[in-house]
Amino acid sequence: MEAKRQDLNVFGMTCAACSTRVEKSLNKAAGVEKANVNLVTESAAVYYDPDQISAEQLIDIVKHAGYDAAEKMSKEEKDAVLDKQFKREVRRFILSAILALPLLLTMVTHIPYLHHTAFAMGVDAIISPTIQLILATVIQFYIGWRFYDGAYKSLRGKSANMDVLVALGTSAAYFYSVAEYVRQLLNPNVVAHYYFETSAILITLILLGKLLESHATSKTTQSIAGLLKLQSKEAVVIREDKEWKVPVDELAIGDVILVRPGEKVPIDALVLSGETSIDESMISGEPVPVEKKAGDTVIGSTVNFDGAFQAKVTKRMDETVLSTIIQLVEEAQGVKAPIQRLADKISGIFVPIVLVIAVVTFAIWMLAGGGFEQALQVAIAVLVIACPCALGLATPTAIMSGTGKGAETGILFKGGEHLERTSKVDTVIFDKTGTLTEGKLKVTNMLDGHSDFKAFAVVLESQSEHPIAKAVLAHLENEEVPAVQAEKIRAKAGHGVVGLLNGSKVSLGSYRFISSSAAVPKDADDEMKVWMEAGRTIVAMSIDGDFAGAFSLQDTPRKEAKEAIARLRDMGIKTAIASGDQRVVVENIAKELGIDAVYAEQLPNDKSELVSGLQKQGRVVAFVGDGINDAPALATADTGISIGTGTDIAIETGDVTLVGHQLTLVPQTIQLSRATMRNIRQNFFWALAYNCAGIPIAALGLLAPWVAGLAMAGSSVSVVANALRLKRIKLK
C-alpha cells in the first residue's frame, strides 16, 4: 500500500534539539516510513501505513515526546494558537520582571564596602529574606518551570541543552539561598548569604531573549500565504458556445477559457486564438511584457495587457507554475531549521563535567573529614560558580546588540540563526531586474527622422498603460509638442498601436512590426541592430509607410551597485547574477558592474536549482532579490536577502530584509554578521574563563558562595559590555 501523508502542527519546540527529538520519536514508530519535522513552520510531515498506525496515534507519539500536536490547522487557526501562546509568554515575562526588580536591588548587599551603607541596610530592611524567598519562588517554579520541563526532556533524550544549564544554575543559587534561610531561622545569630536575585534575574533575562526571538521569527511562514493570494479565484470558461464564470478549482485540462484585457490569466494554458501581450514579471522579473499569439503558452496569475484571447487549459491547479513556486518555498523552508546553538553544544560537554566535579568535590570533602555541611557548601560553591549567567547571555546579548545595530543601519535580521549563517557566506547571487537595476525601462537613445515624430509618439503612447509607453512619455515629458488631430487610434495586440494623426497613417511598435511594413534607411537600420545586440528594447514609428524614428529602452543599473560589488570582492566573496532576461543583456550588466558569473534566462525554479547546485559544491550562498519570482531562491539560499522596496512575498521569504534599496547594505550585512559572531565567540571565552578559573578554586574550598556570585556577576558584566561594543562598530 502506498504510504499516506499526515501533516501535523507541533507546538512547544524551542530549539533544533526539540525538532530532532520529535522526528526521532516518529521515525521509530511501527508503520511510519518517514517523518520530517520543521522547527520554523512548527509542523511535521509524516508518511505512514494507515493499516499499522493511525493519525491519532501519531499525535500521541508527539505528545509523549513532550510536545503538543494537532492535525494540520488552517492558517487562521494556527495564528490564533500562536498568538495566544505569545501573549501568555509576554504576560509571564512582565510578571517575572516586576517580581525580579526588588531582588535586583538586593545585589548591592553582596558588594564589599557597600553592604554596610545606609542604602544597603535600607534594602535589607524593606526587602526581607522572607519577601525574597516568596518572590524568587514564584519566578523559579511558576515562571521558570519551562526550563525544568525542557531540561527533563533534554536529559530524557540523552542530551544537555541550554535548559539544563539554566535549571542547574538557577536551582543551585535558589536552593542554597533556601538552605541559608532555614539555617538563619533555626539560629538567628547566623549570618546568611542569599542569592535569590541570581536565579530570578537570570530567568527573567532569558525569557526576554526567547520572547524577542519568538517575535522576530513569527512571520517566517507568511510568504506562502501571500503566494496563495496571488492565485485567481474565478475564470470565464466557454462551454456550449456560452460563457460561464466558474471557480478556478473546477477547471479541467482541455477546458477553453476566455481572458479579457486587464484580467489575470486564471491558470496555465495554451493560446488558441487572439493576440496580446502579457506581464510575466511575476515569473521572469522582467518589466517588458511578452507578446503572445496562437500556439504560445500563458502562465496562471500573470496579467493580460491589451488583447482578449481564448486558451486551452493545460495543467491542473496544483501543477501550475505558481503552485510549483509555492511548493519550492515550502520545501526550502522545511530544511531551514535553525542550527543548534553554540551554547547548547558547549553545555553538552560543560554540564556533565560540572556535575561530576561537584559530586567528586562533595565526596572528597566528606572523606577528608570536612563534615556534611562544609562538603555541601563547597559543592554548592562549585555549582554556583558554574551557573550559566554569562553563558546564557553570551549569544542573546550579542545578537540583540548586532540586530539593533543592523536595524539602525537599515538591515533587519529575522532571527539569530540567520545572522549566524550570513557570517559564513562566500557567494552572493543577485537578481537583476529591480535589484541590481532600477526595475523600470528608460529611453537610452532616440532617432528622430520626422518633424512630427515626438508629437505623434506622445499622442499614441498616452493611450496605453504599457511600461514601454510610460518610459517614452517620461522621456518626452519636457518636450514642447504641437497639438495633433487624432482619429481611429487602436491597439494592435502584441505589436503596438496605430492611428490616423493629422491625416497620416501612423504606426508605433516593435522593430519587427515597423520594419515589416515600412522602408527603413540603412543607417537607421544599422543603428537599431546595434541597440538590439546590446539587448535593448526597440520602439519604432512609421508615417504613411516611411520610417519616422525610434527609441531604444533599457533597464539601467543602480548607482551604488558597482560600489557594492567592489566591496564584496574586497571581502573575498564571489558574486553572480541570475536573471530571466536574455543572455546578452545580463552579460552587459555583469561586465559593467564587475560581477564574476552570469546565469541568464533563469525561471524561478532555475534560480532555486542554481543555489542548490552551488551549495552542493560546498559554497555558502546568499541570494539577493526583490520579486515573487525570487521567492524559491530566497528560501533555498543559506541566507535570503530581500530588498525592502520589493514585493511582500520576497520580503517575508527572505532571512534578512534591507530597508530601502541601498545595495551597499549587502556587504554591510555580511560585515555585521561576521562581527557579531566574532563577538559571540569572545563572549563564550569570557563566560567560560570565569567558570574555568573559579571551579578549581571553589573545589578547594577557597571560594565562598557569595564570592562565586560576584564572579558570576563579573562574567555577566564583561559579556554585556563586550556585546555593547557592536553598537559602535563602523560598517563600510
DSSP-derived secondary structure for 298-366? E-TT-EE-S--EEEEE-S-GGGSHHHHHHHHHHHHHHT-PPPPPHHHHHHHHHHHHHHHHHHHHHHHHH
Partners of 579 in beta bridges: none
Q: Choose, from 306, 344, 431, 581, the residue flagged as catalytic.
A: 431
Q: Does 431 qualify as catalytic in the annotation?
A: yes
Distant-in-sequence, close-in-space partners of 280: CB < 8 Å, separation ≥ 6: 286, 289, 290, 299, 302
Angle (nearest 5°) at CA 460 between 459 and 465: 110
Name residue 546's beta-bridge partners. 519, 543
Find where cell 485567481 sits. 232
Query: In the beta sheet, which residues pair with residue 519?
Result: 546
Please spell the DSSP secondary structure of 636-667, one letter per residue: HSSEEEEETTS-HHHHHHSSEEESSS-TTHHH
The backbone torsions φ and ψ at residue 243, rounded to the nearest 5 degrees and listed phi first, read: -95, 130
Residue 72 cell numbers, joined: 494540520
CA-to-CA dists, residue 116 to 102, 109, 123, 181, 252, angstroms: 18, 8, 11, 20, 85
264: closest CA among 238, 229, 291, 299? 299
| CA atoms 73, 75, 76, 82: torsion sign | positive
Q: Which residues contact 185 (CB under 8 A, 6 or more apart)?
A: none
Compute the distance between CA of residue 293 and CA of residue 311 in angstroms, rounded to an integer.
Answer: 10
Helices (H) and strands (E) in the chain, counts: 26, 26
State which amino acid sits at residue 329. V
Taking a C-beta distance cutoff of 8 angstroms, is the pair 589, 694 a contact? no
Asked if residue 394 lies in contact with residue 730, where contact means CB atoms within 8 angstroms, the answer is: no
Spatial distance between the Cα atoms of 107 and 88, rounded to a whole number of angstroms: 29
Q: 20-23: list long-range contacts, CB under 8 Å, 24+ apart.
A: 21/65, 21/66, 21/153, 21/157, 22/62, 22/65, 22/67
The cell 503566494 sits on which residue? 227
Q: Which DSSP string corresponds to 40-66?
A: TTTEEEEEE-TTT--HHHHHHHHHHTT
Q: How far apart are CA 61 and CA 59, in angstroms?
A: 5
Q: Which three cell numbers stand for residue 191?
A: 549570618
Q: How far apart are CA 363 and CA 380, in angstroms?
A: 13
Residue spans of alpha helices (H) in 427-576: 453-461, 467-475, 511-515, 522-533, 561-570
Q: Give the span between the Cα atoms of 591 and 534, in whole angstroms.
A: 12
- Cα separation of 360 and 563, whole Å? 60
Q: Which residues are catalytic?
A: 431
